[in-house]
Structures are given as C-alpha cells and as structure tokens.
Amino acid sequence: MSAHRLERMASAIQRGVQQVLARGIADERVRGLITVTDVKVMGDLTEAVVSCSVLPAEHQSLTLHGLNSAAAHIRHELGELVDTRQLPRLRFRLDKGLKKQAALLGAIELAKEATDKREAEVAAKAAALAQAPPAERGGTP
C-alpha cells in the first residue's frame, strides 16, 4: 500500500477514534482527558497503533488498560465513521512525548527566569556604581 494512502488512513483513524472517545466509553477505567496524538498504520492494514496522551497522569495506566480492552468496541464504532473495506485492529499506547516536551519547556522557562533575574541584578549594580562618587568607583577624586 502506498505511503500516501497509509497516511490518509491513519489520519481518518485518528479523527474517528477521537470522535468515539469524545462520545464516551462505558468502561469506568477510561477516565481523564484523552487526546489521540498519533496513529501508525501497518503496511498490510492489520494493525494500527494509536498513541494517546492521558491527563491527569495518575489515570494513565488504568485508562490505557481500559482502552486496549475496549479496542474492539472502538473499532466497531470507528467502522461507522471511516469509509473503508478493511479496518485494522487497534492497539493503544501511551504517548510520553508531550510530557517530555512540557518538562523541557518548563526547564527552559526556569532558566529564562534565572537569567532575567541575574541580568536585573547586574544592571542594578552597574547603575549604583555609575551613581557612586569617583572615589568609590576606584577612580581619582
């Protein structure tokens, strides 16, 4: 199957799974905010790996287990949304990339705040030194 067709299929599955999840799943293990971040479809259309982000983090493991248990139901619902003869089996996995990205952005923000604070301190010292009498600056009176 062509790469373009696989990409179209993955995109349709991603939109469809997100719609099914937005309607809700009857499994009480599936909780929290679930976002479908990516879908990879195997070349032979036998399986699609659905990457999901789950917030809050304490619901991730249980929600992922619930999603994999409900995969057949989700696939059935997806069949009504995606127009194709053959719909791959769904396997859900946790996408940790968003967490890593958020942590990295948080670290960058902390570093920026520390740099801004140091620059402000240096500027304040320079301003104070510029206003000091020449004797205090180390120059001659």
pLDDT tens-place string over residues 35-66: 999 999 998 889 999 999 988 888 889 999 99
Write the pLDDT tens digit of every residue in 72-108. Answer: 999 999 998 888 888 999 999 998 876 777 778 888 9
pLDDT for 138 equals 59
Helix axes 71-81, 3-23, angle to 10 degrees: 110
Measured distance CA(6)–CA(42) in Å, rounded: 8
Q: Among 1.10.10.10, 1.10.1470.10, 1.20.1420.30, 3.30.300.20, name the CATH number for the domain at 3-95.
A: 3.30.300.20
pLDDT for 141 equals 54
Report domain extents, the chain. 3-95, 96-141
Assign 3-class secondary structure to the chain: CCHHHHHHHHHHHHHHHHHHHHHCCCCCCCCCEEEEEEEEECCCCCEEEEEEEEECHHHHHHHHHHHHHCHHHHHHHHHHHCCCCCCCEEEEEECCHHHHHHHHHHHHHHHHHHHHHHHHHHHHHHHHHHHCCCCCCCCCC
pLDDT for 42 equals 92
In contact, 54 and 63? CB cutoff 8 Å:
yes
What amino acid occupies position 86? Q
Measured distance CA(90)–CA(44) in Å, rounded: 14
In contact, 98 and 53? CB cutoff 8 Å:
yes
